Amino acid sequence: MQDSKKLHIELFQEEYDFMFDSILDAKERAKGINPMNSRYQEEVNKKRKLFGVPALSVAGNPVDDSTMKICIDEIDARSKNQKTRYSNLIEQTLLKK
């Protein structure tokens, strides 16, 4: 994978869930309600905790850009044939897909 945006989409697809919201889902998010089911939210929070990034907001949106920073750093390291502290976790996460 050569592009940090592509890596970000693969690793943290939950940050793009809003793009697939129905009209009702979008209205719920606007009210601060996460329309995703609780099991999915738990899985996402568990993964995000492993990466050391904040959980999504109550509406299901990212609260900062820490996940993108991880991806940018990873792609930069790979371009130099190096690893980051997240490289192994990234590979494990991608293999689960």
Q: How does pLDDT run across 44-75, given as a tens digit for each residue?
A: 999 999 999 999 998 899 999 999 999 999 99
Per-domain residue ranges of the chain: 4-95
pLDDT in tens, 19-52: 889 999 999 989 988 899 899 999 999 999 999 9
- In the predicted structure, residue 14 carries a pLDDT above the cut 70: yes
Nearest Cα neighbor of 45 from 35, 57, 33 is 57
> Which residue, 55, 49, 51, 43, is CA-closest to 90?
51
What value does the CA radius of gyration of the chain take, rounded to a whole number of Å? 14
